[in-house]
Amino acid sequence: MEVEEAIRNRRSVRKYLDRPVEEKKIRRVLDAARWAPSAGNLQSVEYVVVKDRETRDRLSSASYGQAQPSDAPVNIAVCVNFSKISHYGKRGKELYSLQESGACIQNLMLTAHSLGLGTCWIGAFDEGKAKGILGVPDNVRVVGIITVGYPDEKPGSSRRELKDIVFEEGYKKS
């Protein structure tokens, strides 16, 4: 699959088939994630892969009752290890780590799509609960939970026109 095709056709999948995801595919999406740009190549992003049903159910509860973490056969918690990016101080913690993790998540999701898998980026969750469920230490932040599995739906989507979102030489109020 060409990159632009993957970008244009990937959608957030919220319904999954009751089918396990092959370990080889999980490793491929994680490998793609780790190749995302990294501030100073410090590689602060780390991943917790969850397949256990009980743990997925607990993550669903921590995600304010969203069904995807329970329904998807794989959840990948994307974490930022602040000790890895401390070189940049406050800016590293508050900005660079989020930029890096977002790029990793995008790589992960596009690669999953190219392998016939569906994903959904869960951003609405109780971080404290998620950290407790996953045993994440204090110096690490959970920034997203990505559900992964074989899609049981084909969602559509639309985007704003470029003319409505691109400004030349400065931002212009609309």
Domain 3-153 homologous superfamily, CATH: NADH Oxidase (3.40.109.10)
Helices within 16-161 (DSSP H only):
23-34, 53-62, 68-71, 82-85, 89-91, 97-114, 127-134
Looking at residue 3, what is its pLDDT? 85
pTM beyond 0.95: the answer is no
Note the pLDDT of residue 73. Answer: 98
**Under 8 Å CB-to-CB from 135, ≥6 apart: which residues?**
none
pLDDT at position 56 is 98
Domain range annotation of the chain: 3-153
Residues of the chain where predicted confidence (pLDDT) is lower than 70: 174
Residue % of the chain over a pLDDT of 90: 74
The pLDDT tens digits of the residues spanning 29-52 come to 999 999 999 999 899 999 999 999
